[in-house]
A and B are shown apart, each in its own frame.
Chain A
C-alpha cells in the first residue's frame, strides 16, 4: 500500500475525493435577533473523533443540538450519510447524544436506562438485556446494573450515559462536554477510555468541549469556534503549529503575540515590529511588503542563555532580564523583561538536570529560530 493511500485511509479529510459522512452546509441558528450559529459549513468523515472547541456561549451546544434534531436550523442544510435531515425528528435520526448533564432517567436502574433505546426499537427483552450486559461490560459497569443513578458516583454516571447513547450503535454519536463534570484525574483517565471505545466500535464521534487539552488528546480533528463561527478546522498538531488567527493561537496553548509590518515577504519573512525591532519569521504565501501582520511565538520555542548566541540569518536574539520563574517540575515557566519593557513568556523543559539553573534577576539572551515565529494576518 502506498503512503498516500494509507494517509487517506486513516485521515480521509486529506483525500479530496473522499465522501464526507456528515455535511453541514451554511447552517445558521438565530434565537430572536441573536445569532448563536452563523453560517457554518463543515464536513466530517466516517470514523472520526471530531472536537468542537470553543469558549462558553460560542454556539457549540446549539450546533450539536441541530445535528441531534432538538433545534431547527434557521437556514442551511445538514446531511448525514447523504440523507437530508430537514424535517426528520430527533427520534427518527441515526444519531444519539450524550448529554452534558447526562440526563439519566432517575426512576430507572442502570440496566433499564441502557436498555431504553433498544426497547423503543421493538427488540425483545431477552435480546435487549443481553446487549445491555455486553455494553455494561465495555464501560466496566457490570457490577452496578441494578443500581439507580442517584446511587452512583459522577464517573459512573458518565459511563452509564455513554453506554446508553452507544447501545443503539448510532452512526453518529454526539457528546456535549462529556467529561465536564469529572475531576481532573478521572477526566484524563476517561479521555483514553473514550478513545478506546470509539476505536472498538468505529462510531463517528463529535465531541463538544471548552477544554483545549481535552480536544488535543481526543481529536482526530478540531474545529475551533468563536461567536457562532468556526474559525479553523484541522488536526491538533496543525492547529497548534499553524494557527490561522490570533484567536486560535491564543485559545490553544500559550503564545506571545506581537504586532508588526512586513518589510520583506521572502524567506524568512522580515517583519518590522515596534516592540521587538526587526524580526525574522517563517515564510508563508500571500504576504506583501507593508502589510499589517501579527507574529506568534510559542513559549517553548525560545531558548535562554547567559551568553549571546552567534548571530545568524535565521535566528532572532534579544537581551532581557528574568522577572519571574515558576518551577513546575517537568518544566519551568519564565517571564523575561525585554529591553523595551515588554514581557516575553518562555517555557524551558527540565529534561536534563541543571546544577546552575537560570534564576531571578539574571541578565539573559532570549533566542529563537525564525521558523518558530508564525506570521498571522488576522
Chain B
C-alpha cells in the first residue's frame, strides 16, 4: 500500500471517528478501558447475576434471571438468599475473618522482612545494587508451584529442617510444621516478598541523601532520622507493597491447599469447594463478590486518605 493511500485511509478513519466524537486521545484511553470492560467488568456482572440466582440441577446449574409469565409479562427472578446464607453460616464468616487475619499477618511480616532488604539494596553502590535486584527477581524464573513443593521438602516431618535439627541434637522429636498455619505464613511471605521489596526499593532509591544529612545536621540521631524522615517519606512504597501482598494473599488458594492443614480456613478454599464439590454456583458467586468488596474497601480507603493528604 502506498503512503498516499495509507494517509488517505488514516484521514478517512480520523474523519469518521471525529464525527462519532472520538479523538485520538479517547482512542488511547479506550484500549485499556475496553480491556477492563471485557475481562473485568463483564465477568464481574456475570458473577453478580449468578449470585442472585438459585442453584438447580440443570445446565447451567442456576435459575434464569427472568421468566415470561403465562400472560406474557416479564418476571425478574432475583434473590439475596445466597448473601443471607453467607451471613448466617458461621463457616463463611470464619473463613473471611481467617483469610483477612492470615493476609494481614503475612503482609506485616513481608513488610518487616522486605523493608530492610529494600533499604539495603537502595543504599548499595551501583554494580552491587543491580545484582541484588536481580536476586530478588530470580525466583520468578522457576515455577511458583515448584517452589511451594520445595518448601514442603523443607517443612516435612522428615524434611531438611527437621533432619538438620535432629542430627545436631537440638530437638529429639520432629517439629510439626507441615499442614499448619505456620507453613501457610511461610509460603505466603516467601512467595509475595518480591512484591513488597520492589515498590519499596523504587521509593527508597529516590530518597535524597541530603535530607538524611539535613536531619543529622539538625541534631537527629540515625534512628530518629529514620523514623522522622525516611519512614514517612517511604509511606507510598509501604502502601503499594502492602497492597501487592495483601490482595493476592487474601484470596490465596494454592498455598493453603498445599501447605495448610485441614483447619486452615481460607476463603479461596471455600470458594473452590462451593464451585467444584457442592456445584453451588450461586453461593460460590456470592462468596467471590463479597471477597472482591473486602479487597476493594481498603484500597478505596487508602486512596481517599492519600488524596486528602495531597490536598493539604
Contacts and interface: CB of A to CB of B under 8 A. Distances in A.
B227 to A, nearest CB: 12
Task: Please report whether the interface of chain B is mostly helix, strand, loop or mixed according to DSSP.
Answer: helix
B221 interface: yes
Given A101-B208, A105-B229, A107-B233, A120 B218 contact: yes
Interface residues of A, number: 25
A70 B228 CA distance: 19
B213 interface: yes
Given A99-B210, A101-B208, A68 B217 contact: yes
Tell which of B220, B224, B233 has the most Cβ of chain A within 10 Å. B220
B110 to A, nearest CB: 24
Interface in A73-123: 89-92, 95-97, 99, 101, 103-107, 116-117, 120-121
Contact of A107 (B215, B218, B232): B232
B211 interface: yes
Contacts of B220: 91, 116, 120
Interface in A327-371: none
B65 interface: no
B219 interface: yes
B214 interface: yes
Residue of B213, B219, B224, B232 with highest tally of chain A CB at under 10 A: B219
A68 B216 CA distance: 10
Contacts of A263: none
A96 B217 contact: yes
Contact of A91 (B217, B228, B233, B312): B217
B298 to A, nearest CB: 22
Given A105-B229, A120-B224, A168 B219 contact: yes
Given A99-B210, A101-B210, A103-B208, A117 B233 contact: no
A164 interface: yes
A96 B220 CA distance: 12
Nearest to B218: A117
A70 B229 CA distance: 18
A125 B94 CA distance: 46
A295 B232 CA distance: 60
Contacts of A96: 217-218
B286 to A, nearest CB: 42
Contacts of A106: 233
A164 B213 CA distance: 14
A164 B215 CA distance: 11
Considering the complex of A and B, which 6 residue pairs feature the smallest CB-CB distances, nearest first?
Answer: A117-B218, A103-B210, A120-B219, A103-B214, A90-B216, A91-B216
Interface of B: 208, 210-211, 213-221, 224, 228-229, 232-233, 312
Interface of A: 68-70, 89-92, 95-97, 99, 101, 103-107, 116-117, 120-121, 148, 164-165, 168
21 contacts: A68-B217, A69-B216, A70-B216, A91-B219, A96-B218, A99-B210, A101-B208, A103-B211, A103-B214, A105-B211, A105-B215, A106-B233, A116-B215, A116-B218, A116-B228, A120-B220, A120-B224, A148-B312, A164-B214, A165-B217, A168-B218
